Amino acid sequence: MKTVVLHGSPRKDGNSDTLVKYFLQGLRTSGISEIKEFYSNDLDISPCQMCGSCNKPERIELTPHNCIISDDMHPIYAAFAEANIVVFATPIIWGYMTAQLKTVLDRLEALASDRYFGHKTFVVIITCWHHHETLVAFFKRAIESYFKDVQLHTIIYCSWDQNSRNDRHVLTCNEKLQEAYELGRTVGKNMHIRIRKKR
Ligand SMILES: Cc1cc2nc3c(=O)[nH]c(=O)nc-3n(C[C@H](O)[C@H](O)[C@H](O)COP(=O)(O)O)c2cc1C
């Protein structure tokens, strides 16, 4: 069982990274240990050029993705294609995911079929000050209603502290850390059941 984590925040060990950490701790209790993490802010990834190479029939089967752009996206394609569990983690900026994560997601267009997106469990971790609804709706529409046999879970943490009028790190919020940990445990347990059923 394999997991791929796509980190969207440029802030290492910030709120979304920390929630990923607790989610993965929970996941590991089920023996799921093959986990690949990618920090989009550290990678050299070009925006999708919408060239359509990934959809050209003559290129199909050359690689899982057929993308002709040569950059750091390629290890992500390989890890994503094999993963049973996919984690997207991002803060909200201007009401949406970070540009870094959106660039990765745009390039995942090259794998956008039931073969690579279907039958997976997706976990979306969103940290924000207030508005997250648009992004949750996006993931529901783009993943849950497009691909076969997928499961989508979300963790939302609003880090705006009214009193100090500042960001409140999620490490001060045990309830949220526990929620992430428990979701990891549940997703791990359910993944074993899903895989057993398929056999
Ligand atoms: C430059 C900047 C812009 C932001 N824009 C928004 C926004 O549009 N909406 C929102 O709800 N939160 C916004 N936030 C708050 C972050 O999403 C929030 O601090 C989040 O917890 C950061 O997560 P991280 O620690 O994983 O980076 C913004 C924060 C910064 C620093």
Q: What domains sit in the chain, N to C, each tagged with a CATH number?
A: 2-198 (3.40.50.360)
Contact of 89 with 82, CB cutoff 8 Å: no
The rounded Å distance from CA 116 to ligand 1 centre is 30
Res 180 pLDDT > 70: yes
Best residue among 9, 87, 93 to mutate for probing ligand 1's pocket (most ligand atoms within 8 Å of CB) is 93
Residues 68-115 pLDDT 10s: 899 999 999 999 999 999 999 999 999 999 999 999 999 999 999 999
Where do the H-state alpha helices sit in the chain? 15-28, 73-82, 99-107, 114-117, 133-139, 174-198
> Residue 58: which residues within 8 A CB-CB, separation 6 or more?
none
Instruction: Name the band, by pLDDT with cuts 50, 70 and 90, for residue 47.
Output: very high
Cβ < 6 Å from ligand 1: which residues?
Answer: 9, 11, 14-17, 91-95, 127-131, 159, 167
Please give the model's pTM, rounded to 2 decimal places.
0.95
Q: Phi then psi for 120, rounded to 5 degrees?
A: -110, 160
Q: How far is CA 53 from the centre of its chain?
A: 24
Contact of 127 with 16, CB cutoff 8 Å: yes
What pLDDT does residue 57 have?
63
**Atom of ligand 1 at shortest distance to CA of 96?**
8
Q: Cα torsion for 145, 146, 149, 151, to the nearest 10°? A: -60
Instruction: Name the band, by pLDDT with cuts 50, 70 and 90, for residue 14.
Output: very high
